[in-house]
């Protein structure tokens, strides 16, 4: 309708319309998330509104976020049913995915109170696509909770190399290009090519993390949530659109640049990060180099790997929304008073939990068929506490289930139960190396070295020459006092792998136990020429002590203490079987400890 207005009035009228609409939506958002219990009529009204093609998708998505927060803090069966209905019938994928996250995070896990909720979930879990999306959602929620750990990894292991090898520097005057060294051009210095290759390799690492679901931008953008824009709660959930009143000054400053259009269409950021970037760009645009300004019109301007990601896939849409949720609960001050699904703060026992797969309400539904895949995911990501919670919620008499149960029990110290599960798994599939490896590790922990040797023998039949298995088998043989067999294996390994320090360490210790301290001392000298561990100093001290080199032994033991800050008496107790073989009396041990401790 604005096209009918005079041209000089169109911009002013458009701004007024967007201002009024934004104010209305913010008020509606606030009214909804603090709303009381709904009636059936309320449910019907909002379901119709959220499914209507006449309502803008941006408004529908914002309303769904308000319902999510409302229902997480005060459960309402009618709001829950609204979210379920929208998930089942919405045609817009952004709306559908917000509804999915909404009903999942607002499940009330008390089946007797709301039987209709149970019937909805049973029906939903009969659909294979729904259970697949629930599995993806659960994994994505865990990825969100790893955002800060991933940020630390990027800051420690990736970003230093990228900045070191890039041609840019950040100063108080903005982003500047480093001056090119003319001698590199003249001499054809290959260092620049190597730097570029290293930088590309590190960027590929970040791309790989992003493709696997990591939130690689959280750390960089969390400092950019201090704009006044984010003081309004609704803006944390507002889908990015250029006509938002808060972006008007940014649009004017950027002029004809396509940056905001590209950011909206192709930027691989969650919605709140897009707003952060647009607002930050307005603040620094005057200090950006010309060639970088030219890049703002290209697709490459908006993030690592943006062109390689299907931004319209359900999984991507859902992941971006979850990242918005995580940022809201992590960075918005007012969120401290709300139930946080990403944090177990003890405020709720029955709902608003990111780990929804272990809910009672999902037991004996179609979701059970997906729990094995999630259990494997938890194992691979070392989430043993969640794995321990998940396994009792379903059962499958399979090698996979018993092996996962075995590893969970092994991690938590339930060794006899772990051994039973690995044995059961191997009865079902005798050649399963994963289960055999668990059996071997459990036997070592239980000091059942005969079983460990048998297990490692089986593993070595499947993987001949596996150094790790060979070393572990030799240690088990040593514990059984079958020193000769252990030495035969270790000598062969040391000959085949002369640069493997771990082989040398085990060989040296075996020689110590066999009474050959001189040969052990020679091996420890070789280890000191490379990258010695703290234990190398301890064991070299044993070798010197047994050879009568008391001064050298004291020095080695002191070096070990400086590195480990531990009690030497405890180590003597642990290694007492070796000292007993050399007839080192308790009195001799106490005397040496007193000499080591003397300053």
> Is the pLDDT assigned to residue 171 strictly greater than 70?
no
> Is the pLDDT assigned to residue 13 strictly greater than 70?
yes
pTM: 0.85
User: Looking at residue 281, what is its pLDDT?
Assistant: 82
Question: Cα(92)–Cα(98) distance, rounded to whole angstroms?
Answer: 10
Helix (H) / strand (E) element for 490: namely helix 483-496
Q: Of 464, 493, 518, which residue sits at a domain end?
A: 464
Q: Of 429, 445, 464, which residue sits at a domain end?
A: 464
Query: What is the share, in percent, of the chain residues with pLDDT greater than 70?
Result: 83
User: Looking at residue 346, what is its pLDDT?
Assistant: 61
Q: Tell me: the pLDDT tens digits for 563-587?
A: 998 999 999 999 998 999 899 999 9
Q: Which residue segment(s) compose the domain that 171 sits in?
A: 156-179+190-312
172/240 same-domain check: yes
Q: Tell me: the pLDDT tens digits for 182-224?
A: 555 555 555 656 655 665 665 566 666 666 667 878 887 888 8
User: Looking at residue 175, what is its pLDDT?
Assistant: 43
Q: Tell me: the pLDDT tens digits for 441-450?
A: 999 999 999 9
Q: For residue 591, count other CB atoms closer than 10 A to its CB.
A: 12
282/321 same-domain check: no
- Of the pLDDT bands very low, low, confident and very high (cuts 50, 70, 90), residue 298 is low
Domain count for the chain: 3
| Nearest residue to 578 via CA among 517, 504, 494 | 517
Q: Tell me: the pLDDT tens digits for 312-352?
A: 899 999 999 999 999 999 999 999 999 999 987 665 666 77
| Nearest residue to 312 via CA among 56, 85, 96, 55 | 96
> Is the pLDDT assigned to residue 465 strictly greater than 70?
yes
- Of the pLDDT bands very low, low, confident and very high (cuts 50, 70, 90), residue 159 is low
166/295 same-domain check: yes
Q: Output the domain CATH number for residue 452.
A: 1.25.40.10
Would 347 be classed as within a structural domain?
yes
Mean pLDDT of 110-131: 91
232/375 same-domain check: no
Mean pLDDT of 264-269: 76
Mean pLDDT of 271-300: 75
Would 82 be classed as within a structural domain?
yes
Mean pLDDT of 247-252: 86
Would 388 be classed as within a structural domain?
no
Would 498 be classed as within a structural domain?
no
Task: Tell me the average pLDDT of the chain.
Answer: 87
User: Looking at residue 98, what is its pLDDT?
Assistant: 98
290/226 same-domain check: yes
Mean pLDDT of 383-398: 96
233/264 same-domain check: yes
CA torsion, ordered 261, 262, 266, 271, to nearest 10 deg: -60
Residue 411 sits at φ, ψ, to 5 deg, of -65, -35
| Nearest residue to 269 via CA among 303, 238, 246, 234 | 303
424/293 same-domain check: no
User: Looking at residue 431, what is its pLDDT?
Assistant: 95
Mean pLDDT of 586-591: 94
Q: Tell me the C-alpha to C-alpha distance, in Å, between residue 350 and each of 67, 70, 108.
A: 18, 15, 6
204/290 same-domain check: yes
Q: Of 381, 409, 428, which residue sits at a domain end?
A: 381
215/282 same-domain check: yes
Would 4 be classed as within a structural domain?
no
Q: Tell me: the pLDDT tens digits for 82-109?
A: 999 999 999 999 999 999 999 999 999 8
267/376 same-domain check: no
Would 42 be classed as within a structural domain?
yes
User: Looking at residue 575, what is its pLDDT?
Assistant: 92
Strand 174-177, strand 168-171: pairing = antiparallel
> Is the pLDDT assigned to residue 166 strictly greater than 60?
no
Would 21 be classed as within a structural domain?
no
Question: Which DSSP string corresponds to 555-570?
Answer: HHHHHHHHHH---HHH
Would 484 be classed as within a structural domain?
no
Mean pLDDT of 383-390: 96
> Is the pLDDT assigned to residue 11 strictly greater than 50?
yes
User: Looking at residue 183, what is its pLDDT?
Assistant: 52
224/320 same-domain check: no
424/281 same-domain check: no
């Amino acid at each position: 309708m604005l096209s009918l207005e005079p041209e000089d009035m169109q911009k002013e009228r458009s701004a007024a319309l967007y201002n009024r609409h934004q104010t209305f939506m913010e008020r509606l958002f606030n009214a909804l998330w603090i709303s009381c219990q709904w009636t059936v009529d309320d449910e019907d009204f909002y379901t119709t509104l959220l499914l209507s093609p006449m309502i803008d998708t941006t408004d529908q998505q914002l309303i769904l976020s308000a319902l999510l927060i409302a229902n997480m803090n005060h459960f309402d069966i009618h709001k829950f049913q609204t979210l379920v209905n929208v998930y089942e019938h919405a045609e817009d994928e952004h709306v559908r995915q917000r509804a999915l996250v909404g009903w999942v995070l607002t499940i009330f896990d008390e089946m007797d109170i709301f039987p209709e909720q149970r019937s909805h979930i049973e029906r939903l879990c009969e659909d294979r696509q729904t259970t697949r999306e629930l599995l993806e959602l659960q994994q994505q929620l865990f990825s969100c909770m790893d955002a800060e750990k991933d940020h630390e990894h990027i800051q420690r292991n990736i970003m230093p190399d990228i900045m070191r090898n890039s041609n840019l520097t950040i100063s108080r005057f903005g982003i500047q290009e480093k001056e090119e060294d003319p001698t590199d051009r003249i001499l054809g210095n290959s260092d620049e090519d190597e730097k570029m290759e290293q930088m590309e390799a590190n960027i590929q690492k970040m791309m790989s993390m992003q493709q696997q679901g990591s939130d690689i931008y959280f750390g960089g953008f969390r400092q950019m949530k201090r704009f006044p824009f984010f003081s309004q709660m609704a803006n944390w959930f507002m889908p990015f659109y250029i006509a938002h009143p808060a972006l008007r000054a940014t649009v004017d400053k950027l002029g004809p640049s396509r940056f905001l259009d590209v950011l909206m269409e192709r930027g691989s950021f969650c919605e709140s990060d897009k707003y952060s970037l647009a607002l930050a760009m307005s603040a620094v645009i005057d200090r950006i180099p010309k060639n970088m300004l030219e890049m703002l019109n290209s697709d490459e301007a908006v993030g690592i790997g943006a062109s390689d990601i299907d931004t319209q896939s359900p999984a991507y849409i859902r992941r971006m929304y979850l990242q918005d949720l995580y940022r809201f609960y992590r960075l918005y001050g007012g969120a401290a008073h709300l139930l946080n699904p990403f944090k177990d703060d003890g405020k709720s026992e029955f709902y608003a939990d990111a780990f929804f797969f272990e809910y009672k309400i999902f037991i004996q539904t179609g979701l059970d068929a997906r729990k094995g895949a999630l259990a494997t995911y938890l194992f691979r990501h070392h989430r043993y506490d969640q794995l321990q919670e998940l396994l009792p919620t379903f059962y499958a008499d399979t090698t996979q289930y018993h092996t996962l149960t075995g590893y969970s029990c092994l991690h938590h110290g339930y060794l006899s139960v772990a051994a039973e599960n690995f044995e059961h798994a191997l009865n079902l599939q005798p050649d399963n190396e994963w289960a055999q490896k668990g059996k071997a590790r459990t036997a070592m922990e239980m000091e059942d070295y005969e079983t460990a040797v048998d297990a490692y023998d089986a593993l070595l039949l499947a993987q001949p020459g596996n150094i790790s298995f060979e070393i572990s088998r030799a240690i088990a043989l040593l514990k059984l006092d079958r020193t000769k067999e252990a030495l035969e294996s270790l000598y062969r390994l040391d000959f085949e792998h002369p640069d493997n320090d771990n082989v040398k360490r085990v060989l040296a210790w075996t020689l110590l136990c066999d009474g050959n301290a001189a040969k052990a001392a020679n091996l420890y000298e070789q280890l000191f020429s490379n990258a010695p561990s703290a234990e190398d100093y301890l064991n070299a001290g044993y070798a010197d002590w047994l050879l009568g080199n008391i001064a050298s032994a004291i020095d080695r033991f002191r070096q070990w203490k400086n590195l480990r800050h531990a009690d030497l008496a405890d180590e003597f107790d642990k290694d007492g079987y070796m000292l007993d073989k050399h007839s080192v009396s308790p009195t001799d041990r106490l005397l040496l400890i007193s000499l080591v401790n003397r300053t």
